[in-house]
Amino acid sequence: MTGFTITYFAVRGRCGAMRIMLSDQGQEWKEVVVTFDEWMKGDLKKTCVFGQLPKFEDNGLILYQSNAILRHLGRKLGANGETEREASLVDMVAEGVEEIRTKYLKMIYQEYETGKDAHIKDLPNHFCKFEAILVKNQSGFLVGNSISYADYSLFEVLLNHQVLSPTCLDSFPSLKKFVEMMSARPKIKTFLQSDAYKKLPINGNGKQ
């Protein structure tokens, strides 16, 4: 199978950022949608290196781990910083984004009713760090003067948090401007308005 293929469940989940990145970078890809019933049979799970999805295929290269997939696309599509130094900074910032995503997913799947309010209350402690990065860098992106996979990752996390708490960015003007800038990029705007994007729930348990 040539080209890019994403194999995942019928949710945005851990494929939200990579789909936004592929769209913005003008790339096409195939989606293999796995139902929970198919997954529970176990045959596909046994073939996955870490027993989990997403699975990403790039012309015969098979990758798992959503952030490894983002990094791969960053290198391949020129969205990984403009120098080795910037690439290291992109990785650093992307790890920080992943910390927020991991906290969000734990809250969504394990403690939504009891932990949603505390998660929202704690957001400023995390958002202030990315606000400071954007204020310091001045280009509008997280690192250097061009978009990187870390920008797509942060953008997706912020979009999901705006659903969870629509006012969560009100105290962070640079983050709000970042979301507006990313949302206004023509290919991202088109993708976010597409049925392919809108028809998928954010998470697999219906919570958001």
Ligand X SMILES: N[C@@H](CCC(=O)N[C@@H](CSC(=S)NCCc1ccccc1)C(=O)NCC(=O)O)C(=O)O
Sign of the Cα torsion 164, 169, 170, 176 reads negative
- What does the alpha-carbon distance between residue 160 and residue 25 come to, in Å, rounded to a whole number? 21
41/177 with CB nearer ligand X: 41
13/74 with CB nearer ligand X: 13
For residue 71, how many C-alpha atoms fall within 13 Å in the half-sphere facing its CB? 16
User: Which tokens sit at 35?
Assistant: 């139902």
Write down the least CB distance from residue 203 to ligand X, Å. 7
- Bridge partner residues of 7 (DSSP): 32, 55
- What does the alpha-carbon distance between residue 172 and residue 195 come to, in Å, rounded to a whole number? 30
Residue with smallest beta-carbon separation from ligand X: 204
Write down the least CB distance from residue 29 to ligand X, Å. 16
Binding-residue pattern over the window 88 to 117 for ligand X, x denoting contact by CB under 6 A: -----------------x---x--------
Binding-residue pattern over the window 61 to 90 for ligand X, x denoting contact by CB under 6 A: ----xxx-----------------------
Which residue, among 65, 68, 86, 78, has the nearest Cα to 27 in the 3D structure?
78
55/126 with CB nearer ligand X: 55
- What does the alpha-carbon distance between residue 39 and residue 76 come to, in Å, rounded to a whole number? 30
Which residue, among 31, 33, 23, has the nearest Cα to 1 in the 3D structure?
31
Q: Does 13 bind ligand X (CB under 6 A)?
A: yes
Write down the least CB distance from residue 36 to ligand X, Å. 7
- What does the alpha-carbon distance between residue 18 and residue 173 come to, in Å, rounded to a whole number? 25
Q: Does 35 bind ligand X (CB under 6 A)?
A: no
92/109 with CB nearer ligand X: 109
- What does the alpha-carbon distance between residue 201 and residue 206 come to, in Å, rounded to a whole number? 7
Among 4, 12, 19, 54, binds ligand X (CB under 6 A): 54
Write down the least CB distance from residue 108 to ligand X, Å. 8
Write down the least CB distance from residue 205 to ligand X, Å. 7
Residues binding ligand X (CB under 6 A): 9, 11, 13-14, 45, 52-54, 65-67, 105, 109, 204
